[in-house]
Amino acid sequence: MNFVASSSGPLEWNYIAANFGYLASVVMFMLAIMRMGRVKTARSGNFLAAAAMLLAVVSSFVEMGKINPAFIVAGLIIGGAVGAIMAKKVQMTQMPEMVALLNGFGGLASTLVGLATFYALSGGGNLAMMMGRDGGWFGAINLVLTLIVGSVTFTGSIIAFLKLSEKMSGRPILLPMRHVLNVLLLLIPLAMGVAAVWYVNNPILVGLILIGIVLITFVLGVTIVIPIGGGDMPVVISLLNSYSGIAAALAGFTIGEAVLVVSGSLVGASGMILTQIMCKAMNRSLANVMFGGFGAEPAAGGGGGGEYVGVKSADAETAAMIMQDAQNIVIVPGYGMAVAQAQHAVREMAKILEEKGANIRYAVHPVAGRMPGHMNVLLAEANVPYEQLFEMDQINDDFRNVDVVLVIGANDTVNPSAKTDKSSPLYGMPVMNVEEAKTVFTMKRSLGGGFAQVKNTLFECPNNYMVYGDARKTLEEIIKALKEG
Amino acid sequence: MDTGAILMLLYVFVLACFAGYQLISKVPPTLHTPLMSGANAISGITVLGAMLAARIGPGAPFNASTILGMLAVALASINVVGGFMVTDRMMGMFKSKN
C-alpha cells in the first residue's frame, strides 16, 4: 500500500486495483518462500516468486496511471536482457561470485532509489515540506539509512565478487586501525545525515551531503569486506544478502510502499538465518568472522608445530585398487573440488564404483566451499541424486563403519585437531570424523595450509594417504584404473 | 507520510521479519544456495521504487530523479531477472534417484 499517495487526494480506482495486486503479490512471495524450502516444491516456488514480482510491477504501472513510461521501459529492457544473459552464461562453479554480483546490483539500486526520491521531492519543492511535516524526521533518517545500507551492500558485494572470482586475493587484507576506521566511516555519514536535516531548506547543499554519504559508505563497504578471507565468504554472502533485503525494505519506508517493506524484510530475515547457520557451523561468532581477520597469517603453534611428520602418500592406481574392493565409500568434497571443476569426474568415478557394488555417500560440511550449499549445487549439476548427500550431523557417527573416505579438496573441515588441540584457531569447530574410517585418501595439490593456515593432523594419521595433484586429473586417472581393473 | 502511516509500516516490517524467520528456519542445506539466490532476486522488489522515480508525468517532471530512477530500474532488473533465472537453473538440477 502506498501510504504517501493515500494521504493526498481522493481514492482512484487504479490505486485500489493496484493495491489488491500488491496484496496478492505479497501473499505469493510468502507462499513462494515456503515452497522454496522443500526440494520437491522448490522450483515451483521460485516460479511463483517470479510471477509475484511480475504482478507487483504490473500493479505499479496500474497505480501510476497516465505517465510517460519511456525511461522505466528502457531500464526494464536493458536490465532484464543483461540479467538473462548473465544467468544463461554463468557456470555452476561461478555461482558464488554471481550471487555476490547480483546482490551488489540490488544494493546499488536501493541507494539510487533513495537519491532519486530525494531529487524528485526537491525538484518539486516538496523536500522542506516533507521533512518539516509530521513524521518528516522519520523520512529523513530513513533516507539516510537507505543510502548507507544500500551503498555498503553494493561495494561489499563487489569486493566479495572480486575475491570469489579470484580477481583479487582471497587472503584477508588488514588495514592499520581498521576498527577505528570502520567506526568513523559509519559515524561520519550518520552525522552528515543529521546535517542534511538541519539544512533542509537548501536542497543543493542537502543533495551534496547525501552524495557525500553515499561515497563515504562506498568506502565503508570495501573496508568491511577486505579483512575477511575467502573461506569465510559463506557468512559474508549470506550477510550481504540480508543487507540487500534490508535496503529494499528501507527504500520501501522512503517511498511509503508496503510491498517493498514486506518483501525486503523477508529477504533480510532469510539472510540472517543463513548467516547464523554458517557461523554456528564454524563455531565462531558473527563478530569474530567480521572483525577477526581470520586466516591472515599462519597460526603460531596451532596444531603442534608446522612441520609434518610421517605423511604417507599414494598414487591414483593404488587408490583405485583399494576403492574397488570397498563396500562403503564416503566422498567428502571441499572448495578444492570446485576449483578443479572436478564434480563431473567425481560422479563418473562414483558410478563405476556403484556398478562394482559399493555404497557411495557424500558428506557435506555446512561451510564447505564459498557459499551456503555450494557443494550441493555442484554435485547436483553432475547429476548426483540428493538422497546420497548427507549433512555432517547425519553421517559423523558412521565414519567408523566406512571402508574408504575420499577427501577431495577439503581441509579445515576434516582437521581432527579442531576436536583436540585447544591452541588451534580451529578448536571447537565441528569437523567430520573422517580419520575414524579404515582408509582415507586425501586429494590435494600439496601439503600447504587450508584457509585457516592451520596444520592438518589428519595428514599424519596412519590410515591417511595423500594423493597429490589436481583433483580432476587424479580422478580421471582413478577412473582409468578402475575401468582397466 | 504521517506518523500513523509510519507506525503501520513498522508493524508490517516487524511482522514480515517474524514471518520470514518462521518460513525459512528449517530449510535443508541442499537448498541453501538456491534459496539465497531466490531471496536475492526478491530483494530486487526495490524496482518498484525505481519505477516511481523514473516516471515522467503529473508532479514528476524530467530531472535528475528520472535518470537515477532509470539506472535503478536497470540494476534492479538485472537482479530480478538474473536472480530468478539462475535459481531456476539450479533448482532444475536437483534430482531424486527415482
Domain residue limits at B58: 28-93
The C-alpha angle with vertex A336 and arms to A465 and A447, in degrees rounded to 5, equals 45
Closest B-chain CA to A1: B9
CA distance A210 to chain B (A): 14
Within-domain flag for B50: yes
Q: Do B39 and A241 touch (CB under 8 A)?
A: yes
Q: How confident is the model at residue A302 (pLDDT cuts 50, 70, 90)?
A: very low
Residues of B in contact with A90 (CB under 8 A): 86
Q: Note the pLDDT of residue A104.
A: 95
pLDDT at A323 over 90: yes
Residues of B in contact with A270 (CB under 8 A): 20, 23-24, 35-36, 39
pLDDT at A299 over 70: no
Q: Which of A170-179, A212-221, A259-268, A377-386 has the lowest mean pLDDT?
A: A170-179
Distance CA A214, CA A155 (A): 11
CA distance B81 to chain A (A): 5
Closest A-chain CA to B72: A109
Percent of chain B with pLDDT over 70: 97
**ipTM higher than the 0.90 cut:** yes
Nearest by CB: B78 against A82, A264, A386: A82
Q: Note the pLDDT of residue A386.
A: 87
Within-domain flag for B11: no
Within-domain flag for B78: yes
Strand partners, A408: A333, A443
A397 flagged as catalytic: no
Q: How many domains does chain B have?
A: 1
Q: Which of A134, A232, A403, A412 is catalytic?
A: A412
Residues of B in contact with A273 (CB under 8 A): 21, 24-25
Specify the pairing of strand A464-468 against strand A312-313: parallel
Q: How confident is the model at residue A9 (pLDDT cuts 50, 70, 90)?
A: low
How much is the average pLDDT of A241-261?
A: 91
pLDDT at A304 over 50: no
Q: Note the pLDDT of residue A465.
A: 93
Read out DSSP for A402-444?
-SEEEEES--GGG-THHHH-TTSTTTT-----GGGSSEEEEEE
pLDDT at B52 over 50: yes
Q: Do A103 and B79 touch (CB under 8 A)?
A: yes
- Of A42, A351, A334, nearest to B90 (Cα)? A42
pLDDT at A295 over 60: yes
Distance CA A409, CA A411 (A): 7
Q: Do B24 and A79 touch (CB under 8 A)?
A: no
pLDDT at A74 over 80: yes
Nearest by CB: B49 against A113, A258, A277: A113
Within-domain flag for B4: no
How much is the average pLDDT of A11-30?
A: 91
Within-domain flag for B54: yes
3-state secondary structure of B57: strand
CA distance B11 to chain A (A): 10
Within-domain flag for B87: yes
Q: Note the pLDDT of residue A300.
A: 46
Percent of chain A with pLDDT over 90: 59
Residues of A in contact with B20 (CB under 8 A): 33, 265-270
CB contact burial A391-418 (16+ within 10 A = b; e otherwise): bbeebbebbeebbbbbbbbbbbbbbbbb
Closest B-chain CA to A369: B33
Select the residue from B7, B18, B48, B96 to test the A interface by mutation, using most A Cβ atoms within 10 A. B48
Q: Note the pLDDT of residue B70.
A: 95
Q: Note the pLDDT of residue A131.
A: 57
Amino acid A353 reads L
- Of A388, A152, A140, nearest to A254 (Cα)? A140
Q: Note the pLDDT of residue A6.
A: 44
Q: What share of chain A is helix, strand, coil (3-state, %, to 5)?
A: 65, 5, 30
pLDDT at A328 over 60: yes
CA distance A403 to chain B (A): 24
Eight-state DSSP code of residue A455: -
Cell triple for residue A57? 510491477
Q: What is the pLDDT of residues A162-220, one digit of tens each?
A: 998 888 887 888 888 888 999 999 999 999 988 887 777 777 888 899 999 999 999 99
Within-domain flag for B14: no
Cα torsion A49, A52, A54, A60: sign = negative
pLDDT at A4 over 80: no
3-state secondary structure of A68: strand
Q: Note the pLDDT of residue A7.
A: 42
Q: Which of A234-238, A282-286, A345-349 has the lowest mean pLDDT?
A: A282-286
Q: What is the pLDDT of residues A80-97, one digit of tens each?
A: 999 999 999 998 888 899
Q: Note the pLDDT of residue A127.
A: 55
Q: Looking at mean pLDDT, say which of A400-409, A453-462, B1-10 comes out highest.
A: A400-409
Residues of B in contact with A271 (CB under 8 A): 36, 39
Interface A:B, Cβ pairs < 8 A? 425
Distance CA A375, CA A378 (A): 5
How much is the average pLDDT of B52-71?
A: 87
- Of A400, A407, A330, A396, nearest to A361 (Cα)? A330
Q: Note the pLDDT of residue B4.
A: 80
3-state secondary structure of A332: strand
Q: Do B3 and A135 touch (CB under 8 A)?
A: yes
Q: What is the pLDDT of residues A97-151, one digit of tens each?
A: 999 999 999 999 999 999 998 888 775 555 555 555 555 677 778 889 999 999 9
Distance CA A115, CA A109 (A): 10
Mean per-residue pLDDT over chain A, rounded: 88
pLDDT at A301 over 60: no
Q: Note the pLDDT of residue A362.
A: 96
Closest B-chain CA to A271: B36
How much is the average pLDDT of A371-386?
A: 91
- Of A118, A148, A144, nearest to A217 (Cα)? A148
Q: Note the pLDDT of residue B24.
A: 82
- Of A445, A449, A447, A448, nearest to A471 (Cα)? A445
Q: Do B55 and A68 touch (CB under 8 A)?
A: yes
Distance CA A150, CA A115 (A): 11
Q: Do A113 and B72 touch (CB under 8 A)?
A: yes
